[in-house]
Amino acid sequence: MLKFTTAGESHGQALVAILEGMVAGVPVLSADIDAQLARRQQGYGRGRRMQIERDAAEILSGIRAGETIGAPIALLIPNRDWKNWQDVMDPAPREGETADTMRRRAVTRVRPGHADLTGLLKYDRDDARDILERASARETTARVAAAAICRVFLAQFDITIGSHLVNLGGVDASRPDPFPADVNAAADASPLRTLDANAESLMIERIDQAKRDGNTLGGTCEVVVDGLPVGLGSHVSWDRKLDGRIGAAMMSIPAVKGVEIGIGFAAARALGSEVHDEIHPAPGRTLSGGVRRATNRAGGLEGGMTTGEPLVVRVAMKPISTLMRPLGTVDMATGEKAEAVAERSDVTAVPAMGVIAEAMLAFVFANAMLEKFGGDSLGETRRNYDAYLAHVAQRT
């Protein structure tokens, strides 16, 4: 099983990711990781922090001479902003500091919608900075770094992942027809990672307005995975169904509140005949088992398994809970009514969320590939993959 973990606070010294279970022989360069980190930093509506950071990963272990060696891969991404926060984040107690004194930049006016209040109570802290530093979406930097290696692994099997923004602050972007073969090449050229230029201008106006108003905006991204073979995941048990694993991975992204696979919630309102995808013979289309779906409303999954059609997921993010014109709250230091803290933040981070959703899907599918095809080296995984597809081709 592939697994990864991350560590690090938003204004701490660095972020760390450890990816374990990747086979040996995958060609990985730090440039592959840094390219993904740079994509995550983009997006109109980000705050000043993104001008401070130039995220780049230092490979500490698990990769030698440009290839994975099968050992745990440790990555370190320094926080440039840390130099401004060293005293606030210092792990050591400082002279005169007691349990009753607060450090500079203590947060007690907890933000509605944030982890501040529940975290403070649950972990029995007085300063919500002990919570918010880790709740910060800065953590997703480490996820994107670890998942960049999963992406390289998937690319060895011609599996690619792309995303685009389909709604921001209530403005819908239309899905282009024909849909571009390289979604990211098109989306990354847009400041909002959207494929509809008209909608983009409206969205930018809306972001500017929200910024003037001290407000924030949410939105939705669509993520597409191409090149998956039929039969990843399984129908036999709840925890092997890919719908569930995808849902969990997407919902673990900070501020994400909804996930749809294929037509998602719309399927609940339609007739069966309007929902299910008719199956046609397609000899030679081996990845999907010698058939094709006339439509792909299922979004590439049936019974918790890949069909071989593109995997389509939509991910909805709520507006960031740090408002420059704050909502009412309670000051947890005094118990009195107060205005919530207004820390520097982004007006919106939906474009970045699409990149993070790609990363989480890369992890889910690298894991699903390794589960099905196994192996300790890329060559071994490939032989198993080739044998499976040869068999599928022969029976269809």
The correct pick among 141, 184, 220, 329 for binding ligand EPS (CB under 6 A) is: 141
Interface segment toward ligand EPS; rule CB under 6 A; list 45-53, 163-171, 273-281, 290-298: 45-53
Residue with tokens 């450090």: 103
Output the smallest distance, CB 218 to ligand EPS, in A: 14
The correct pick among 107, 131, 137, 199 for binding ligand EPS (CB under 6 A) is: 137
C-alpha span between 384 and 372 (Å, rounded): 9
Side-by-side strand order, sheet with 73-78: 3-7, 14-20, 73-78, 58-61
Output the smallest distance, CB 79 to ligand EPS, in A: 8
C-alpha span between 332 and 128 (Å, rounded): 9
If one asks whether residue 345 binds ligand EPS (CB under 6 A), the answer comes out as yes
Q: E strand or H helix at 269, and its extent?
A: none
If one asks whether residue 47 binds ligand EPS (CB under 6 A), the answer comes out as yes
Within 13 Å of residue 364, how many CA atoms lie on the same side as its CB?
Answer: 30
The correct pick among 343, 377, 382, 396 for binding ligand EPS (CB under 6 A) is: 343
| Dihedral sign for Cα atoms in the order 180, 183, 188, 192 | positive
Q: Is 74 left (phi over 0), alpha (psi -120 to 50) or beta?
A: beta
If one asks whether residue 226 binds ligand EPS (CB under 6 A), the answer comes out as no
Residue 145 or 392 with smaller CB distance to ligand EPS: 145
Residue 74 or 253 with smaller CB distance to ligand EPS: 253
If one asks whether residue 39 binds ligand EPS (CB under 6 A), the answer comes out as no
| Residues numbered 309-338 forming contacts with ligand EPS, rule: CB under 6 A | 322
Q: For residue 3, what are the β-bridge partners?
A: 20
Token pair of 9, please? Answer: 């606070």
If one asks whether residue 194 binds ligand EPS (CB under 6 A), the answer comes out as no
Output the smallest distance, CB 196 to ligand EPS, in A: 25
Output the smallest distance, CB 6 to ligand EPS, in A: 13
C-alpha span between 343 and 24 (Å, rounded): 44
Residue 49 or 245 with smaller CB distance to ligand EPS: 49
* Cα torsion through 369, 370, 372, 373, rounded to 10: 100
If one asks whether residue 206 binds ligand EPS (CB under 6 A), the answer comes out as no
Cβ(331)–Cβ(338) below 8 Å: yes
The correct pick among 39, 129, 138, 314 for binding ligand EPS (CB under 6 A) is: 138
Interface segment toward ligand EPS; rule CB under 6 A; list 42-50, 67-75, 259-267, 324-332: 42-50
Question: Which among 98, 17, 90, 48 has a CA at the least distance from the CA of 343?
Answer: 48
Classify residue 337 by burial, with Cβ atoms within 10 Å: 0-12, 13-18, 19+. Answer: exposed
The correct pick among 284, 344, 394, 395 for binding ligand EPS (CB under 6 A) is: 344
If one asks whether residue 49 binds ligand EPS (CB under 6 A), the answer comes out as yes
If one asks whether residue 380 binds ligand EPS (CB under 6 A), the answer comes out as no
Question: Which among 137, 194, 146 has a CA at the least distance from the CA of 171?
Answer: 194
Residue with tokens 């046609």: 280
Interface segment toward ligand EPS; rule CB under 6 A; list 26-34, 47-55, 174-182, 191-199: 47-55
Q: Which residues neighbour 67 within 8 Å (Cβ) at sequence distance 6 or greater? A: 24, 25, 26, 27, 28
If one asks whether residue 193 binds ligand EPS (CB under 6 A), the answer comes out as no
Question: Which among 113, 134, 203, 127 has a CA at the least distance from the CA of 165?
Answer: 203
If one asks whether residue 10 binds ligand EPS (CB under 6 A), the answer comes out as yes
Output the smallest distance, CB 207 to ligand EPS, in A: 15
If one asks whether residue 346 binds ligand EPS (CB under 6 A), the answer comes out as yes
C-alpha span between 41 and 54 (Å, rounded): 8
Residue 50 or 267 with smaller CB distance to ligand EPS: 50
Site residues, ligand EPS (CB under 6 A): 10, 47, 49-50, 81, 136-138, 141, 322, 343-346
